[in-house]
Amino acid sequence: MAETLERLQAVIQRHNLTLFAQIDHTGAAQHVGLTMQPAHVLIFGSPKVGTSLMIAFPLLALDLPLKLLVWQSADGQVWVSSTSAAYLQERYGISQALIGIIAGADIVIVQALDG
**70 touches 40 (CB < 8 A):** yes
pTM for the model: 0.91
- Asked which of 34-38, 68-72, 76-80, 97-101 is least confident by mean pLDDT, the reply is 97-101
Which residues have C-beta within 8 Å of that of residue 23, sequence separation ≥ 6?
40, 41, 43
Per DSSP, helices labelled H in the chain are 2-14, 25-31, 47-56, 85-92, 96-114
> Number of folded domains in the chain?
1
Structural domain including 48 reads 2-114
Residue type (1 letter), 111 = Q
Give the single-character DSSP code of 93. T
- Asked which of 26-30, 71-75, 96-100 is least confident by mean pLDDT, the reply is 96-100
- The number of beta carbons lying within 10 Å of the beta carbon of residue 13 is 12
Read off the CATH number of the domain in which 62 is found.
3.30.310.70
Whether the pLDDT of residue 115 is over 90: the answer is no
Query: Cα–Cα distance between 15 and 45 in angstroms, integer?
Result: 10
